[in-house]
Chain A
Amino acid sequence: MSTHRLLPIDPQTGRARDLRSLASHAAAFGPLPILPPSADGHPGPLIEAIAESRLCGRGGGWFPTARKMQAVVDSAAGRRKRSPGSRPVVIANAMEGEPASGKDAVLLAHVPHLILDGIQAAAATVGATDAYLAVHRGTPSIDDLERAIAERRSDLVRVELITPPARYVASEESALSHWAGDDTATPVYGDRPFERGMNGRPTLVQNVETLAHLGLIARHGGSWFAEVGDAQAPGTTLVTVGGRVRQPGVIEVPTGTPVSDILARCGGVDGPVEGFLTGGYGGAWVASEALWSAEWAPAQVREAGGVIGAGILWALDAAICPLHEMARVATYMAGESAGQCGPCRFGLPSVADDLTDLARAASTREDLARINARLALVVNRGGCKHPDGTARFIGTGLTVFSAEVAEHLGGGCSASRSGASLPIPKIRKTPVKRAGKDFR
Protein backbone atom coordinates (compact mmCIF):
# COMPACT_ATOMS: atom_id res chain seq x y z
CA MET A 1 0.00 0.00 0.00
CA SER A 2 1.42 3.31 -1.03
CA THR A 3 2.07 5.73 1.75
CA HIS A 4 2.93 8.58 -0.60
CA ARG A 5 -0.50 10.10 -0.50
CA LEU A 6 0.12 13.83 -0.18
CA LEU A 7 3.40 13.82 -2.04
CA PRO A 8 3.38 11.40 -5.01
CA ILE A 9 6.90 10.31 -5.85
CA ASP A 10 8.49 10.45 -9.28
CA PRO A 11 9.81 6.89 -9.80
CA GLN A 12 12.73 8.19 -11.92
CA THR A 13 14.15 10.63 -9.39
CA GLY A 14 12.68 9.24 -6.18
CA ARG A 15 11.64 12.78 -5.26
CA ALA A 16 8.22 14.37 -4.75
CA ARG A 17 6.51 15.29 -8.05
CA ASP A 18 5.96 18.89 -9.05
CA LEU A 19 2.15 19.17 -9.29
CA ARG A 20 1.88 22.93 -9.25
CA SER A 21 -0.26 23.18 -12.39
CA LEU A 22 -3.96 22.39 -12.17
CA ALA A 23 -3.67 19.97 -15.10
CA SER A 24 -0.89 17.91 -13.50
CA HIS A 25 -2.76 17.99 -10.18
CA ALA A 26 -6.01 16.72 -11.74
CA ALA A 27 -4.13 13.99 -13.61
CA ALA A 28 -2.38 12.78 -10.48
CA PHE A 29 -5.24 12.93 -7.97
CA GLY A 30 -8.39 12.85 -10.11
CA PRO A 31 -11.20 15.37 -10.00
CA LEU A 32 -12.49 16.87 -6.76
CA PRO A 33 -16.10 15.68 -6.32
CA ILE A 34 -18.89 18.22 -5.96
CA LEU A 35 -19.18 19.13 -2.28
CA PRO A 36 -22.71 19.81 -0.98
CA PRO A 37 -22.48 22.71 1.45
CA SER A 38 -23.59 23.16 5.03
CA ALA A 39 -27.26 24.13 5.42
CA ASP A 40 -29.81 24.78 8.19
CA GLY A 41 -27.23 24.85 10.95
CA HIS A 42 -25.83 21.44 10.00
CA PRO A 43 -22.39 20.71 8.60
CA GLY A 44 -22.07 19.62 4.99
CA PRO A 45 -22.36 15.84 4.40
CA LEU A 46 -18.55 15.45 4.10
CA ILE A 47 -18.43 15.75 7.91
CA GLU A 48 -19.37 12.05 8.11
CA ALA A 49 -16.36 10.96 6.08
CA ILE A 50 -14.13 13.29 8.11
CA ALA A 51 -15.41 11.83 11.38
CA GLU A 52 -14.93 8.30 10.02
CA SER A 53 -11.38 9.15 8.93
CA ARG A 54 -10.47 10.23 12.50
CA LEU A 55 -8.31 12.92 10.90
CA CYS A 56 -6.52 14.96 13.58
CA GLY A 57 -5.03 18.42 13.06
CA ARG A 58 -1.43 18.28 11.84
CA GLY A 59 -0.52 21.80 12.95
CA GLY A 60 0.59 20.56 16.35
CA GLY A 61 -2.52 20.05 18.48
CA TRP A 62 -3.70 16.80 16.86
CA PHE A 63 -7.27 17.76 17.71
CA PRO A 64 -10.00 15.80 15.86
CA THR A 65 -10.82 17.84 12.74
CA ALA A 66 -14.49 16.77 12.58
CA ARG A 67 -15.07 18.03 16.15
CA LYS A 68 -13.42 21.36 15.41
CA MET A 69 -15.60 21.79 12.33
CA GLN A 70 -18.73 20.87 14.25
CA ALA A 71 -17.84 23.51 16.87
CA VAL A 72 -17.57 26.17 14.14
CA VAL A 73 -20.95 25.16 12.67
CA ASP A 74 -22.59 25.13 16.13
CA SER A 75 -21.16 28.54 16.93
CA ALA A 76 -22.56 29.98 13.69
CA ALA A 77 -25.96 28.33 14.28
CA GLY A 78 -26.10 29.73 17.80
CA ARG A 79 -25.88 33.37 16.70
CA ARG A 80 -28.99 35.40 17.43
CA LYS A 81 -28.61 37.45 14.31
CA ARG A 82 -27.81 35.69 11.06
CA SER A 83 -25.96 37.97 8.75
CA PRO A 84 -23.08 37.70 6.30
CA GLY A 85 -20.95 39.14 9.12
CA SER A 86 -21.57 36.08 11.29
CA ARG A 87 -20.89 33.39 8.66
CA PRO A 88 -17.88 31.11 9.22
CA VAL A 89 -14.41 31.76 7.85
CA VAL A 90 -11.69 29.25 6.94
CA ILE A 91 -8.01 30.10 7.40
CA ALA A 92 -5.41 27.71 6.01
CA ASN A 93 -2.24 27.92 8.07
CA ALA A 94 0.98 27.56 6.06
CA MET A 95 2.98 29.92 8.30
CA GLU A 96 5.55 27.29 9.29
CA GLY A 97 6.21 29.10 12.55
CA GLU A 98 8.64 26.43 13.78
CA PRO A 99 12.06 27.22 12.32
CA ALA A 100 13.05 23.54 12.23
CA SER A 101 9.95 22.55 10.23
CA GLY A 102 9.85 22.30 6.46
CA LYS A 103 6.60 20.53 5.65
CA ASP A 104 4.37 23.52 4.89
CA ALA A 105 6.90 24.79 2.36
CA VAL A 106 7.14 21.34 0.73
CA LEU A 107 3.34 21.12 0.37
CA LEU A 108 3.11 24.66 -1.04
CA ALA A 109 5.89 23.97 -3.54
CA HIS A 110 4.62 20.58 -4.76
CA VAL A 111 0.85 20.21 -4.25
CA PRO A 112 -0.72 23.67 -3.81
CA HIS A 113 -3.96 22.53 -5.48
CA LEU A 114 -4.41 19.72 -2.96
CA ILE A 115 -4.33 22.38 -0.22
CA LEU A 116 -6.78 24.53 -2.18
CA ASP A 117 -9.07 21.49 -2.65
CA GLY A 118 -8.96 20.98 1.12
CA ILE A 119 -9.88 24.62 1.70
CA GLN A 120 -12.92 24.18 -0.59
CA ALA A 121 -13.90 20.98 1.24
CA ALA A 122 -13.56 22.69 4.63
CA ALA A 123 -15.47 25.78 3.48
CA ALA A 124 -18.35 23.69 2.15
CA THR A 125 -18.47 21.57 5.31
CA VAL A 126 -18.64 24.50 7.75
CA GLY A 127 -20.56 26.85 5.42
CA ALA A 128 -17.77 29.39 5.16
CA THR A 129 -18.21 32.35 2.82
CA ASP A 130 -14.61 33.56 3.04
CA ALA A 131 -11.34 31.65 2.93
CA TYR A 132 -7.73 32.67 3.40
CA LEU A 133 -4.39 30.99 2.86
CA ALA A 134 -1.79 32.38 5.28
CA VAL A 135 1.88 32.18 4.33
CA HIS A 136 4.48 34.25 6.10
CA ARG A 137 5.83 37.34 4.43
CA GLY A 138 8.75 36.51 2.17
CA THR A 139 7.66 32.94 1.41
CA PRO A 140 9.37 32.02 -1.91
CA SER A 141 6.32 30.30 -3.40
CA ILE A 142 3.98 33.34 -3.20
CA ASP A 143 3.92 33.97 -6.98
CA ASP A 144 3.24 30.29 -7.70
CA LEU A 145 0.41 30.33 -5.19
CA GLU A 146 -1.19 33.42 -6.74
CA ARG A 147 -1.01 31.63 -10.10
CA ALA A 148 -2.53 28.43 -8.66
CA ILE A 149 -5.42 30.35 -7.10
CA ALA A 150 -6.05 32.22 -10.37
CA GLU A 151 -6.13 28.94 -12.31
CA ARG A 152 -9.14 27.62 -10.40
CA ARG A 153 -12.47 28.51 -11.97
CA SER A 154 -14.96 26.19 -10.29
CA ASP A 155 -14.29 27.06 -6.65
CA LEU A 156 -17.34 28.04 -4.61
CA VAL A 157 -15.31 30.25 -2.29
CA ARG A 158 -12.51 32.46 -3.55
CA VAL A 159 -9.29 32.01 -1.60
CA GLU A 160 -7.35 35.11 -0.62
CA LEU A 161 -3.63 34.87 0.04
CA ILE A 162 -2.58 36.70 3.21
CA THR A 163 1.00 37.33 4.36
CA PRO A 164 1.42 37.99 8.10
CA PRO A 165 4.91 38.86 9.36
CA ALA A 166 7.25 35.92 9.93
CA ARG A 167 7.03 35.90 13.73
CA TYR A 168 6.90 32.71 15.79
CA VAL A 169 3.63 33.49 17.59
CA ALA A 170 1.98 34.93 14.44
CA SER A 171 1.17 31.37 13.35
CA GLU A 172 -0.90 30.69 16.48
CA GLU A 173 -4.56 30.38 15.47
CA SER A 174 -5.93 33.37 17.36
CA ALA A 175 -3.08 35.47 15.95
CA LEU A 176 -3.98 34.42 12.40
CA SER A 177 -7.66 35.26 12.98
CA HIS A 178 -6.51 38.61 14.38
CA TRP A 179 -4.36 39.28 11.33
CA ALA A 180 -7.10 38.31 8.84
CA GLY A 181 -9.47 40.79 10.49
CA ASP A 182 -7.30 43.60 11.83
CA ASP A 183 -3.84 43.30 10.23
CA THR A 184 -2.24 42.69 13.62
CA ALA A 185 -0.64 39.29 14.11
CA THR A 186 -0.58 39.14 17.92
CA PRO A 187 -2.34 36.30 19.76
CA VAL A 188 -5.72 37.15 21.30
CA TYR A 189 -6.62 36.12 24.85
CA GLY A 190 -10.10 35.00 25.83
CA ASP A 191 -12.06 34.40 22.64
CA ARG A 192 -11.54 31.04 20.99
CA PRO A 193 -11.33 31.34 17.17
CA PHE A 194 -14.02 28.69 16.51
CA GLU A 195 -16.43 30.87 18.51
CA ARG A 196 -15.18 34.41 17.88
CA GLY A 197 -12.27 34.61 15.47
CA MET A 198 -11.78 36.94 12.53
CA ASN A 199 -13.92 40.06 13.19
CA GLY A 200 -15.88 38.03 15.74
CA ARG A 201 -16.91 35.39 13.18
CA PRO A 202 -16.65 31.62 13.78
CA THR A 203 -13.25 30.81 12.33
CA LEU A 204 -11.84 27.43 11.36
CA VAL A 205 -8.03 27.53 11.36
CA GLN A 206 -6.41 24.38 9.95
CA ASN A 207 -2.84 23.57 9.06
CA VAL A 208 -2.28 23.04 5.33
CA GLU A 209 -1.26 19.40 5.85
CA THR A 210 -4.64 18.77 7.51
CA LEU A 211 -6.37 20.46 4.56
CA ALA A 212 -4.36 18.46 2.00
CA HIS A 213 -5.52 15.27 3.73
CA LEU A 214 -9.06 16.66 3.56
CA GLY A 215 -8.66 17.09 -0.20
CA LEU A 216 -7.98 13.34 -0.40
CA ILE A 217 -10.76 12.36 2.04
CA ALA A 218 -13.21 14.29 -0.19
CA ARG A 219 -12.12 12.00 -3.06
CA HIS A 220 -11.64 8.62 -1.39
CA GLY A 221 -13.68 8.72 1.85
CA GLY A 222 -13.00 8.30 5.54
CA SER A 223 -12.40 4.56 5.75
CA TRP A 224 -9.83 4.78 2.95
CA PHE A 225 -7.96 7.41 4.97
CA ALA A 226 -7.89 5.24 8.10
CA GLU A 227 -6.60 2.17 6.23
CA VAL A 228 -3.04 3.07 7.20
CA GLY A 229 -1.46 4.40 10.35
CA ASP A 230 -2.02 4.42 14.08
CA ALA A 231 -5.44 3.34 15.41
CA GLN A 232 -6.12 6.54 17.35
CA ALA A 233 -4.70 9.06 14.87
CA PRO A 234 -4.63 7.26 11.50
CA GLY A 235 -3.43 8.25 8.05
CA THR A 236 -0.06 9.36 6.84
CA THR A 237 1.83 12.35 8.17
CA LEU A 238 4.74 14.55 7.16
CA VAL A 239 7.86 14.53 9.31
CA THR A 240 10.66 17.06 9.02
CA VAL A 241 13.79 15.14 9.93
CA GLY A 242 16.90 17.14 10.65
CA GLY A 243 20.19 17.26 12.49
CA ARG A 244 22.65 14.36 12.48
CA VAL A 245 21.01 12.26 9.73
CA ARG A 246 22.50 11.51 6.31
CA GLN A 247 19.54 12.78 4.26
CA PRO A 248 17.61 15.41 6.19
CA GLY A 249 14.29 16.51 4.75
CA VAL A 250 10.54 16.08 4.77
CA ILE A 251 9.15 12.55 4.42
CA GLU A 252 5.64 11.11 4.44
CA VAL A 253 5.03 8.07 6.64
CA PRO A 254 2.00 6.35 8.15
CA THR A 255 1.41 7.52 11.72
CA GLY A 256 2.70 4.87 14.11
CA THR A 257 5.85 4.22 12.05
CA PRO A 258 8.75 3.36 14.41
CA VAL A 259 11.15 6.27 14.86
CA SER A 260 14.00 3.92 13.92
CA ASP A 261 12.32 3.37 10.50
CA ILE A 262 11.86 7.11 10.00
CA LEU A 263 15.56 7.64 10.66
CA ALA A 264 16.46 4.75 8.34
CA ARG A 265 14.36 6.37 5.56
CA CYS A 266 16.57 9.45 6.00
CA GLY A 267 19.74 7.45 5.51
CA GLY A 268 20.25 6.74 9.20
CA VAL A 269 22.03 8.78 11.82
CA ASP A 270 25.44 10.01 10.87
CA GLY A 271 27.33 9.65 14.15
CA PRO A 272 26.42 9.55 17.82
CA VAL A 273 23.18 11.27 18.85
CA GLU A 274 22.72 12.39 22.42
CA GLY A 275 19.05 13.30 22.22
CA PHE A 276 16.14 14.15 19.95
CA LEU A 277 14.16 17.33 19.80
CA THR A 278 10.53 16.49 19.06
CA GLY A 279 7.90 19.04 18.02
CA GLY A 280 10.22 22.02 17.59
CA TYR A 281 11.10 24.95 19.84
CA GLY A 282 7.78 24.68 21.66
CA GLY A 283 8.29 20.91 21.90
CA ALA A 284 10.29 18.52 24.07
CA TRP A 285 13.70 16.85 24.23
CA VAL A 286 13.84 13.07 24.58
CA ALA A 287 16.86 10.89 25.35
CA SER A 288 18.02 8.88 22.33
CA GLU A 289 17.25 5.42 23.65
CA ALA A 290 13.75 6.43 24.86
CA LEU A 291 12.66 7.68 21.44
CA TRP A 292 14.49 5.23 19.20
CA SER A 293 12.04 2.41 19.88
CA ALA A 294 8.89 4.56 20.05
CA GLU A 295 6.25 4.78 17.33
CA TRP A 296 5.62 8.19 15.69
CA ALA A 297 2.04 8.77 16.84
CA PRO A 298 0.79 11.38 19.34
CA ALA A 299 0.13 9.08 22.31
CA GLN A 300 3.25 6.96 21.85
CA VAL A 301 5.61 9.90 21.47
CA ARG A 302 4.01 11.54 24.52
CA GLU A 303 4.59 8.34 26.49
CA ALA A 304 8.27 8.50 25.53
CA GLY A 305 8.40 12.05 26.91
CA GLY A 306 8.14 13.91 23.62
CA VAL A 307 5.53 15.70 21.56
CA ILE A 308 4.93 15.34 17.81
CA GLY A 309 3.63 18.87 17.40
CA ALA A 310 3.92 19.87 13.75
CA GLY A 311 6.03 16.76 12.99
CA ILE A 312 9.58 17.76 13.79
CA LEU A 313 12.27 15.22 14.61
CA TRP A 314 15.77 16.59 15.15
CA ALA A 315 18.75 14.37 16.02
CA LEU A 316 21.22 16.39 18.06
CA ASP A 317 24.84 15.64 17.30
CA ALA A 318 26.50 14.34 20.49
CA ALA A 319 29.64 16.33 19.68
CA ILE A 320 27.77 19.64 20.10
CA CYS A 321 26.96 21.13 23.50
CA PRO A 322 23.19 20.75 24.06
CA LEU A 323 23.13 23.58 26.60
CA HIS A 324 24.65 25.95 24.07
CA GLU A 325 21.92 24.94 21.59
CA MET A 326 19.21 25.39 24.22
CA ALA A 327 20.51 28.84 25.19
CA ARG A 328 20.46 29.98 21.54
CA VAL A 329 16.92 28.76 21.02
CA ALA A 330 15.74 30.20 24.36
CA THR A 331 17.19 33.60 23.42
CA TYR A 332 15.41 33.44 20.05
CA MET A 333 12.11 32.41 21.68
CA ALA A 334 12.38 35.24 24.25
CA GLY A 335 12.72 37.69 21.35
CA GLU A 336 9.68 36.16 19.65
CA SER A 337 7.37 37.04 22.55
CA ALA A 338 4.59 39.36 21.43
CA GLY A 339 5.28 41.32 24.62
CA GLN A 340 1.66 41.33 25.69
CA CYS A 341 2.02 39.36 28.95
CA GLY A 342 4.56 40.13 31.67
CA PRO A 343 5.66 36.58 32.53
CA CYS A 344 6.57 35.94 28.88
CA ARG A 345 7.99 39.39 28.13
CA PHE A 346 10.29 39.45 31.17
CA GLY A 347 10.39 35.81 32.26
CA LEU A 348 11.68 34.30 29.01
CA PRO A 349 14.65 36.72 28.68
CA SER A 350 15.61 36.05 32.32
CA VAL A 351 15.60 32.31 31.75
CA ALA A 352 17.48 32.72 28.45
CA ASP A 353 20.18 34.75 30.22
CA ASP A 354 20.44 32.15 32.98
CA LEU A 355 20.81 29.41 30.35
CA THR A 356 23.47 31.37 28.50
CA ASP A 357 25.50 31.54 31.74
CA LEU A 358 25.01 27.81 32.25
CA ALA A 359 26.14 27.11 28.68
CA ARG A 360 29.31 29.12 29.37
CA ALA A 361 29.86 27.02 32.51
CA ALA A 362 29.50 30.16 34.65
CA SER A 363 26.65 28.96 36.88
CA THR A 364 26.26 27.57 40.38
CA ARG A 365 23.69 25.14 41.82
CA GLU A 366 21.74 28.17 43.08
CA ASP A 367 21.61 29.58 39.55
CA LEU A 368 20.22 26.27 38.29
CA ALA A 369 17.57 26.29 41.02
CA ARG A 370 16.62 29.79 39.89
CA ILE A 371 16.15 28.60 36.29
CA ASN A 372 13.76 25.92 37.47
CA ALA A 373 11.86 28.35 39.70
CA ARG A 374 11.52 30.83 36.84
CA LEU A 375 10.36 28.12 34.42
CA ALA A 376 7.55 27.29 36.85
CA LEU A 377 6.65 31.01 36.95
CA VAL A 378 6.07 31.41 33.20
CA VAL A 379 3.75 28.41 32.77
CA ASN A 380 -0.07 28.77 32.67
CA ARG A 381 0.11 32.53 32.93
CA GLY A 382 0.15 33.70 29.33
CA GLY A 383 -2.54 34.74 26.88
CA CYS A 384 -1.12 32.11 24.51
CA LYS A 385 1.06 29.02 24.96
CA HIS A 386 4.34 30.57 23.78
CA PRO A 387 5.89 30.69 27.29
CA ASP A 388 4.55 27.22 28.11
CA GLY A 389 6.11 25.67 25.00
CA THR A 390 9.42 27.41 25.58
CA ALA A 391 9.45 26.28 29.23
CA ARG A 392 8.82 22.70 28.11
CA PHE A 393 11.68 22.92 25.59
CA ILE A 394 14.06 24.14 28.32
CA GLY A 395 12.74 21.98 31.17
CA THR A 396 12.91 18.70 29.23
CA GLY A 397 16.38 19.64 27.94
CA LEU A 398 17.72 20.20 31.44
CA THR A 399 16.44 16.73 32.39
CA VAL A 400 17.57 14.85 29.29
CA PHE A 401 21.01 16.50 29.35
CA SER A 402 21.42 16.41 33.14
CA ALA A 403 24.90 14.88 32.83
CA GLU A 404 25.99 17.84 30.72
CA VAL A 405 24.39 20.23 33.23
CA ALA A 406 26.48 18.63 36.01
CA GLU A 407 29.60 18.93 33.86
CA HIS A 408 28.92 22.65 33.31
CA LEU A 409 28.27 23.28 37.02
CA GLY A 410 31.76 21.89 37.58
CA GLY A 411 33.19 24.39 35.08
CA GLY A 412 33.56 21.97 32.16
CA CYS A 413 31.85 21.12 28.89
CA SER A 414 31.99 17.75 27.12
CA ALA A 415 31.43 19.13 23.61
CA SER A 416 34.21 18.12 21.23
CA ARG A 417 33.09 20.54 18.55
CA SER A 418 31.92 24.13 18.80
CA GLY A 419 29.28 25.39 16.44
CA ALA A 420 25.56 25.57 16.07
CA SER A 421 23.07 23.04 14.83
CA LEU A 422 19.44 24.14 15.24
CA PRO A 423 18.28 26.85 12.78
CA ILE A 424 17.60 30.32 14.21
CA PRO A 425 16.03 32.92 11.89
CA LYS A 426 16.80 36.17 13.73
CA ILE A 427 17.52 37.08 17.33
CA ARG A 428 15.62 40.11 18.59
CA LYS A 429 16.47 42.36 21.53
CA THR A 430 14.73 41.57 24.80
CA PRO A 431 12.61 42.37 26.69
CA VAL A 432 10.57 43.11 23.57
CA LYS A 433 8.67 46.35 23.33
CA ARG A 434 4.91 46.20 23.64
CA ALA A 435 3.30 44.48 20.68
CA GLY A 436 3.26 46.94 17.86
CA LYS A 437 4.93 47.52 14.54
CA ASP A 438 6.72 44.19 14.46
CA PHE A 439 3.37 42.43 14.26
CA ARG A 440 1.84 44.54 11.52
Chain B
Amino acid sequence: MSKQVRRQLHLDPTLCDAHGFCAELLPELIDLDEWGYPVFIAGGLVTDVPEVLAGEAKRAVTTCPVGALRLTKNE
Protein backbone atom coordinates (compact mmCIF):
# COMPACT_ATOMS: atom_id res chain seq x y z
CA MET B 1 0.00 0.00 0.00
CA SER B 2 1.47 3.37 -0.95
CA LYS B 3 1.71 5.99 1.74
CA GLN B 4 -0.25 9.20 1.26
CA VAL B 5 2.05 12.20 1.51
CA ARG B 6 0.40 15.50 2.40
CA ARG B 7 2.44 18.56 1.53
CA GLN B 8 1.30 21.91 2.86
CA LEU B 9 2.51 25.42 2.21
CA HIS B 10 2.32 27.82 5.19
CA LEU B 11 2.39 31.61 4.94
CA ASP B 12 3.43 33.83 7.84
CA PRO B 13 1.53 37.06 7.08
CA THR B 14 3.56 39.06 9.59
CA LEU B 15 6.75 38.40 7.60
CA CYS B 16 5.35 38.74 4.05
CA ASP B 17 6.41 41.92 2.27
CA ALA B 18 4.52 41.52 -1.00
CA HIS B 19 7.49 40.67 -3.20
CA GLY B 20 5.15 38.42 -5.17
CA PHE B 21 7.57 35.76 -6.40
CA CYS B 22 5.45 32.97 -4.92
CA ALA B 23 2.43 33.89 -7.05
CA GLU B 24 4.61 33.89 -10.14
CA LEU B 25 5.99 30.44 -9.36
CA LEU B 26 2.70 28.90 -8.19
CA PRO B 27 -0.16 30.60 -10.07
CA GLU B 28 -2.17 27.38 -9.61
CA LEU B 29 -2.25 27.97 -5.84
CA ILE B 30 -1.54 31.65 -5.24
CA ASP B 31 -3.07 34.94 -6.46
CA LEU B 32 -2.01 38.45 -5.54
CA ASP B 33 -4.48 40.89 -3.99
CA GLU B 34 -4.79 44.51 -5.10
CA TRP B 35 -2.02 45.50 -2.68
CA GLY B 36 0.37 42.85 -4.02
CA TYR B 37 0.07 40.37 -1.15
CA PRO B 38 -0.34 36.65 -1.83
CA VAL B 39 -3.78 35.05 -1.44
CA PHE B 40 -4.06 31.27 -1.25
CA ILE B 41 -6.77 30.45 -3.78
CA ALA B 42 -8.14 27.76 -1.46
CA GLY B 43 -8.28 30.33 1.39
CA GLY B 44 -6.53 30.68 4.75
CA LEU B 45 -2.83 30.72 5.59
CA VAL B 46 -2.14 27.01 4.91
CA THR B 47 -2.77 25.33 1.58
CA ASP B 48 -2.40 21.76 0.27
CA VAL B 49 0.24 21.28 -2.44
CA PRO B 50 -0.42 18.55 -5.05
CA GLU B 51 2.56 16.32 -5.80
CA VAL B 52 3.05 17.75 -9.32
CA LEU B 53 3.67 21.17 -7.79
CA ALA B 54 6.02 20.00 -5.02
CA GLY B 55 9.13 21.22 -6.88
CA GLU B 56 7.68 24.65 -7.59
CA ALA B 57 6.52 24.96 -3.98
CA LYS B 58 10.08 24.27 -2.77
CA ARG B 59 11.35 26.95 -5.15
CA ALA B 60 8.76 29.41 -3.84
CA VAL B 61 9.98 28.78 -0.29
CA THR B 62 13.64 29.34 -1.18
CA THR B 63 12.91 32.31 -3.45
CA CYS B 64 10.91 34.30 -0.88
CA PRO B 65 13.31 37.08 0.21
CA VAL B 66 11.86 37.31 3.74
CA GLY B 67 11.32 33.62 4.50
CA ALA B 68 7.56 34.00 4.86
CA LEU B 69 6.80 30.58 3.32
CA ARG B 70 7.33 27.13 4.81
CA LEU B 71 6.63 23.69 3.34
CA THR B 72 5.65 20.76 5.57
CA LYS B 73 5.27 17.09 4.72
CA ASN B 74 3.16 14.63 6.71
CA GLU B 75 2.91 10.95 5.91
Contacts and interface: CB of A to CB of B under 8 A. Distances in A.
The finding on whether chains A and B are genuine partners in a shared complex, rather than unrelated, reads yes
21 contacts: A189-B12, A190-B12, A340-B13, A340-B14, A341-B16, A342-B18, A342-B33, A342-B35, A342-B36, A342-B37, A343-B13, A343-B33, A346-B35, A347-B33, A350-B34, A377-B34, A377-B39, A380-B43, A381-B37, A383-B13, A383-B14
A346 B43 CA distance: 19
B35 A382 contact: no
A381 B45 contact: yes
A318 to B, nearest CB: 36
Main secondary structure of the interface of A (DSSP, over half): loop
A343 B35 CA distance: 8
Interface residues of A, number: 15
Contact of A341 (B14, B36, B39): B14
Main secondary structure of the interface of B (DSSP, over half): loop
Interface string A347-370: 100100000000000000000000
B55 interface: no
A369 B67 CA distance: 34
A83 to B, nearest CB: 28
Contacts of B35: 342-343, 346-347
Q: Which of B13, B17, B18, B37 has the most CB of A within 10 A?
A: B13
B14 A377 contact: no
Interface in B2-52: 12-14, 16-18, 33-37, 39, 43-45
Contacts of A189: 12-14
Nearest to A188: B14
A188 B34 CA distance: 25
A346 B32 CA distance: 13
